[in-house]
Amino acid sequence: MTAPSELLELAREAADQASDLLRKHLPDVSGGRLLAAGASTKSSPTDLVTEIDRASEALIVASLLRARPSDGIEGEEGSTREGSTGITWVIDPLDGTINYLYGIPAFSVSIAASVMGRAVAGVVQNPLTGETFAAAEGKGASLNGVELRLETMGRPLGEALVGTGFSYEARIRAAQAHMLPVLLPAVRDIRRAGSAALDLCAVACGRLDAHYEAGLEAWDLAAGEIIAREAGATVRVLDGLIPGWPTVVVSAPGLEDRLVELLERAAVA
């Protein structure tokens, strides 16, 4: 089996290329104009995909398969193939498409190498800030080459800054909103940035104390999860908070039990 550190370097190279593409084609939002040529909807009228999502994924897939032509691929925009090596690349070519279209600098390229459904290497890169979060299993996590290591959080839950995300499906969004009146008074505040991959990395580097979100797909989660895990964060999956949708909870060590208890109290019946 190829070492996770070698897979990490391939992911980093592909992310660099995709980030260059995204910066080059950043939409013009000057004067309140939004130029989103080629935009179309996916799961709902509010869930957009653009030509640049597809171009970014094609570039990433081509880069990875040049180096490892027998690997599998699982991409958000439909690039799926079985491999023969046991390694599958899980790709979100533009996590935070809405932010990208509106010129909000909170979007990312997320690439992970997965073995039997578990990420062993991952990169999340913000093309506008130049920040690259990276991790390989057993080798720790880093931000632009600087090691990330979380300390146990001893502060009260009421001092925790918590991130979340919302589904693009109206029914699920309503259920998520139903939980907020219980959650919001019990924590320092809640943030919704719009890129799950970046939010998980925000936990890894201490910008958030925790992040919870229902309905994440593999490409939303894979790279950010291993980065958070290797930085020392805890990762739990809860069923039943929102019927039919598992909720991923990523938190600083020492916070997870208190946060899970709060989430369970806020659960939608």
| Burial (Cβ within 10 Å: 0-12, 13-18, ≥19) of residue 16 | middle
pLDDT at 30: 52
CA atoms within 13 A on the CB side of 169: 9
Give the 3-state secondary structure of the chain: CCCHHHHHHHHHHHHHHHHHHHHHCCCCCHHHCCCCCCCEECCCCCCEECHHHHHHHHHHHHHHHHHCCCCEEEECCCCEECCCCCEEEEEEEEECHHHHHHCCCCCEEEEEEEECCEEEEEEEECCCCCCEEEEECCCEEEECCEEECCCCCCCCHHHCEEEECCCCCHHHHHHHHHHHHHHHHHCCEEECCCCHHHHHHHHHCCCCCEEEEECCCHHHHHHHHHHHHHHCCEEEEEEEEECCEEEEEEECCCCHHHHHHHHHHCCCC
User: In the predicted model, is pLDDT for residue 117 greater than 80?
Assistant: yes
Domains delineated in the chain = 4-148 (3.30.540.10), 157-265 (3.40.190.80)
In angstroms, the CA 193 to CA 201 distance is: 12
pLDDT tier at 163, thresholds 50, 70, 90: very high
User: In the predicted model, is pLDDT for residue 238 greater than 80?
Assistant: yes
In angstroms, the CA 227 to CA 112 distance is: 10
Which tokens in the block code for residue 63? 């880069």
Which tokens in the block code for residue 249? 């909870």
Which tokens in the block code for residue 52? 């640049």
User: In the predicted model, is pLDDT for residue 258 greater than 50?
Assistant: yes
Q: Cβ distance 233 to 252 under 8 Å?
A: yes
pLDDT at 106: 96
pLDDT tier at 25, thresholds 50, 70, 90: confident
Phi, psi of 164 (to 5 degrees): -155, 180
- Which pTM does this prediction carry? 0.92
